[in-house]
Structure 1
Amino acid sequence: MKRGTLIALGAFAVLLVLVLATRERQVSVGVHKLELPKLDKAQVTALELTGARNVTLRKEGEGWIVADPGKPDAKYAADENLVTSAIDALREVRNPDFVSDRAERLAEYELDDAKGLKLKVIQSGGPAVELVLGKASKNGGAYLRKAGSNDVFVHQGRLDWTVRKELKDWRKRRIVALEMDKLAQLTVRSKDGESVTLKAGANPDEWSLAEGTQTPAGFRFSSQAAQQLALQLASLHAQDFLEGDAAADSATGLGEAHDSVEAQLKDGKKVVVHLGRQPDTKDGSGTVAVRVEGDAQVYQLPQYAAAQLRKRLVDFRDLSLLRFDPQKVTKLKLQAGGKEVLVVKEGQSWKIVEPRKLPDGFELEPSQVDMQLAWLRSLRADRLVEGQVSDGQAGLASPAALVEVSVEAGPDQTLRLGKEAPGVANGGKELYARSTIDALTYAVDEGVRARLAQGLELFKRRPQPSFAGAGGQMQGLDSLPPEVRKQLEAQLRAAQ
Structure 2
Amino acid sequence: MKKGTLIALGAFVVLLVLVLATRERQVSVGVHKLELPKLDKAQVTALELSGARNATLRKEGDGWIVLDPSKPDTKYAADENLVNSALDALGEVKNPSFLTDRAERLAEYELDDAKGLKLKVLQGGNPAVELVLGKASKNGGVYLRKAGSNDVFTHQGRLDWTVRKELKDWRKRQIVALKVEDLSQLVLRSKEGESVTLKAGANPGEWSLGEGTQTPAGFRFSSQLAQQFAQQVASLYAQDFLEGDAAADSATGLADAHDSLEAQLKDGKKVVVHLGRQPDAKDGSATVAARVEGDAQVYQLSQYVASQLRKRLVDFRDLSLLRFEPQKVSKLKVQAGGKTVVVVKEGEGWKVAEPQKLPEGFEFEPSQVNMQLSWLQGLRGTRLIDGQVTDVQAGLASPSAVVELTVEGEPVQTLRLGKEAPGAANGAKELYARSTIDALTYAVGEGVKTRLAQGLELFKRRPPPPSFAGGGQMQGLESLPPDVRKQLEAQLRGAQ
Q: TM-score, normalised by structure 1?
A: 0.91
Q: Displacement of 1:233 after TM fit?
A: 1.0
**Are positions 1:192 and 2:192 aligned together?**
yes
Q: Which residue of 1 aligns with 2:308?
A: 308
Residues 430-469 of structure 1 mapped to structure 2, 5 A cutoff: 430-467=430-467
Describe the SS at the equivalent of 1:128. strand
Q: Which residue of 2 aligns with 1:360?
A: 360
CA distance in 2, matches of 1:11, 1:261: 89
Counterpart code for 2:438? D
CA distance in 2, matches of 1:143, 1:356: 74
Residues 334-413 of structure 1 mapped to structure 2, 5 A cutoff: 334-413=334-413
Q: Displacement of 1:309 after TM fit?
A: 0.6
CA gap 1:284/1:395 in 2 versus in 1, 3 angstroms: farther
Counterpart code for 1:96? P
Residues 14-163 of structure 1 mapped to structure 2, 5 A cutoff: 14-163=14-163
Q: Displacement of 1:3 after TM fit?
A: 7.0
CA distance in 1, matches of 2:20, 2:181: 63
CA distance in 2, matches of 1:462, 1:38: 58
Describe the SS at the equivalent of 1:418. strand
Compare 362-371 and 101-110 and name the one that shifted more: 362-371
Describe the SS at the equivalent of 2:73. strand
* Partner deviation per Cα, 1:377-401 (whole Å, 9 max, x = no partner): 0000111122222222222222111
Residues 213-362 of structure 1 mapped to structure 2, 5 A cutoff: 213-282=213-282, 285-362=285-362
* Partner deviation per Cα, 1:276-310 (whole Å, 9 max, x = no partner): 11111247552111111110101111101111111
CA distance in 1, matches of 2:386, 2:156: 63
CA gap 1:457/1:283 in 2 versus in 1, 3 angstroms: farther
Counterpart code for 2:153? F
CA distance in 2, matches of 1:272, 1:178: 12
Q: Displacement of 1:456 after TM fit?
A: 1.3
CA distance in 1, matches of 2:150, 2:235: 46
Describe the SS at the equivalent of 1:127. strand
Structure 2 unpaired stretches of 5+: 473-496
CA distance in 1, matches of 2:94, 2:130: 15
* Partner deviation per Cα, 1:76-126 (whole Å, 9 max, x = no partner): 111011111111111111110000000111111111111111111111011
Q: Displacement of 1:235 after TM fit?
A: 1.7
* Partner deviation per Cα, 1:109-166 (whole Å, 9 max, x = no partner): 1111111111111110111111110111111210000111110000111111110011
Compare 136-145 and 348-357 and name the one that shifted more: 348-357
Counterpart code for 1:394? A
Structure 1 unpaired stretches of 5+: 468-473, 479-496
Q: Is the 8 A contact 1:111 1:132 kept in 2?
A: yes
Describe the SS at the equivalent of 2:23. helix
Q: Which residue of 1 aligns with 2:478?
A: none
Compare 340-349 and 91-100 and name the one that shifted more: 340-349
Q: Displacement of 1:23 after TM fit?
A: 1.9
CA distance in 2, matches of 1:218, 1:90: 61
Q: Which residue of 2 aligns with 1:491?
A: none
* Partner deviation per Cα, 1:416-450 (whole Å, 9 max, x = no partner): 11122222232222222111111211111122112
* Partner deviation per Cα, 1:212-242 (whole Å, 9 max, x = no partner): 2121222111011111111111121111101
CA distance in 1, matches of 2:407, 2:283: 44
Q: Displacement of 1:249 after TM fit?
A: 0.8
Q: Which residue of 1 aligns with 2:489?
A: none
CA distance in 2, matches of 1:477, 1:217: 59
Q: Is the 8 A contact 1:262 1:272 kept in 2?
A: yes
Q: Is the 8 A contact 1:76 1:171 kept in 2?
A: yes
CA distance in 2, matches of 1:117, 1:284: 35
Q: Which residue of 1 aligns with 2:494?
A: none
Describe the SS at the equivalent of 1:431. strand
CA gap 1:7/1:457 in 2 versus in 1, 3 angstroms: same
Give me the identity figure in percent.
82
Q: Displacement of 1:326 after TM fit?
A: 1.1
Describe the SS at the equivalent of 1:363. coil
Q: Displacement of 1:366 after TM fit?
A: 1.6
CA distance in 2, matches of 1:147, 1:423: 66
Q: Is the 8 A contact 1:145 1:152 kept in 2?
A: yes
Q: Which residue of 1 aligns with 2:204?
A: 204
Describe the SS at the equivalent of 1:405. strand
CA distance in 2, matches of 1:149, 1:452: 72
Compare 256-265 and 353-362 and name the one that shifted more: 353-362
Compare 18-27 and 296-305 and name the one that shifted more: 18-27
CA gap 1:441/1:284 in 2 versus in 1, 3 angstroms: farther
Describe the SS at the equivalent of 2:368. helix
**Are positions 1:175 and 2:175 aligned together?**
yes
* RMSD between aligned residues: 1.8
* Partner deviation per Cα, 1:45-83 (whole Å, 9 max, x = no partner): 111111111111111111111111111112111101111
Q: Displacement of 1:203 after TM fit?
A: 2.9
Q: Is the 8 A contact 1:284 1:304 kept in 2?
A: no
Counterpart code for 1:406? T
CA distance in 1, matches of 2:471, 2:362: 31
Describe the SS at the equivalent of 2:461. coil
Q: Displacement of 1:37 after TM fit?
A: 1.0
CA distance in 2, matches of 1:226, 1:169: 32
